[in-house]
Amino acid sequence: MRSTTPATRLILAGGLLVDGSGAAPLRADLLIDGEVIAAIGDRRDMPADVPVLDVSDCIVAPGFIDSHTHDDGYLLVHRDMTPKVSQGITTVVTGNCGISLAPLVRSEVPQPLDLLGPARLFRFATFQSWIDALRAAPAAVNVVPLVGHTTLRVAVMDDTDRAATAPEMVQMQALLTEALEAGAFGMSTGTFYPPAAHAPTEEIIEVGLPLRSHGGLYATHLRDEADHIVPAMEEALQIGRALDCLVVFSHHKLAGGNNHGRSQETLALIDQAARLQPVCLDCHPYPATSTMLRLDRVRIARRTLITWSSAMPAAQGRDFADIQAELGLDDEQTLERLAPAGAIYFLMDEADVERIMRHPLAMVGSDGLPFDQHPHPRQWGTFTNVLRTLVRERGVLPIETAIHKMTGLAARHYGLADRGLLRVGYRADVVVLDPARVTDRATFEQPVQASEGISGVWVNGQRVWDGQCATGALPGEVLSRAPRHA
């Protein structure tokens, strides 16, 4: 079911067009007609009866593509997608880190699947049924869906603390095939997490075999992003070669003080691999990450902030170290008192973050956890944080490069044939922003705050953000992938 909002006809006049390709900005007018960009040039050559919006003090860019999200369930519950459209995002990639909402029906789910939202959302026995739900009640943004290997394991196996048997791998293959035929762009893994930690490389390759015939991609939250990151990366590259598919290194980072500076090593490995096989990465601009509460992360982080705790709700927003001191317990006992819980870990180095963000294969992905009660600010501010800190304040990236990473580069990697660039005939996913004012307001202390300086966002030609709030339009689509080599 598509939105019934009347088709848009609008000229965005006088803006500085940053077209998503990485090319230098160009001042021009842009005509939106229905769902597409109908013309780019001089408005005097465009139809005279079309309304004109003066954006001469602004940048006009393609809508931003959030390359790494966990919005699978949020799309169904909060269809206006305010955390995303308020920072210029028009498309979200779901099902990352091995966890997708479908195919799985459970009244209770193990961590980290609970990061996707309450158990009642896990009601889709097939990937197609989830896709059908998104199409019946579309959100404000487009969706690029992935299916999670961890979800497949939980759906099929009675015990995930072991490798899958041959019959179980056949069942997972069948579920993956169904998902790919329903529209999944590929499969993700999260062998860092308990439900998939016992899956050997051979299992992932065997389960992932349908990716070959369907042209799907492989996105991975590595087994280790700390001391053993290089072997973990080599495993992912081996899987990509075996399945003849693109490898996406999710939220690429170096965790813990022992590994600060090693991005030079890991990015060199990516450069070497890219000469032999398709590979890319996503990242965000913060020196902190967020996931379930884990002792191994607590012990290498310089600070751990609790985002939620089922056993101790009052811990939300407090530092783990303060809670530990208050309780008079060791770290293991403190974790037992808090679990299940989520946390933000300050364990990355700013120089690594900037180096990774500058890499030519690096896309921008928020990796936000939308149902966290005290979320990481990346859910509300990743893209505007890049524009504020890395572009305007530090000069790490020129504006056209930053927007390329948010748009055209991501569209190319994910096979979105008619999005990610300002081109005549492309779908009208467009953002208008004030380069002098655009800023994230979400902080670690107050993370639920909309950005400033995003004055308008259009998805498939309909305005979903008016500069102050979501408009209520729900024109998002579940997207289809183009052939990998198209």
pLDDT for 482 equals 81
pTM above 0.75, yes or no: yes
| 294-345 topology per CATH | Dna Ligase; domain 1 (3.30.1490)
Distance between CA atoms of residues 166 and 109, nearest Å: 24
Structure tokens at 39: 């013309």
**Residues 39-56 as b or e (16 or more Cβ within 10 Å = b):** bbeebeebeeebeebebe
Superfamily holding 63-293+346-417: Metal-dependent hydrolases (3.20.20.140)
**Nearest Cα to 253, choosing from 349, 343, 342, 345?**
349
β pairing state of 89-94 and 142-145: parallel
pLDDT for 334 equals 98
Query: Where are the domains positioned within the chain?
Result: 63-293+346-417, 294-345
Using an 8 Å Cβ cutoff, are 188 and 147 in contact? yes
Structure tokens at 259: 């590994």
pLDDT for 484 equals 56
Own/partner contacts of 259-265, CB < 8 Å, gap of 24 or more, are 259/226, 259/227, 259/229, 260/348, 260/349, 260/351, 260/352, 261/349, 261/351, 261/352, 262/229, 262/352, 263/351, 263/352, 263/355, 263/356, 264/355, 265/230
Helix 229-243 / helix 263-274 crossing angle, nearest 10 deg: 20
Torsion of CA 462, 130, 148, 110, to 10 degrees: 120
> For the chain, which residues score pLDDT lower than 50?
1-3, 485-486
Structure tokens at 141: 């943004």
Distance between CA atoms of residues 79 and 141, nearest Å: 8
3-state secondary structure of 9: strand
Identify the helix (H) or strand (E) that includes residue 464: strand 462-465
pLDDT for 5 equals 60
One-letter amino acid of 486: A
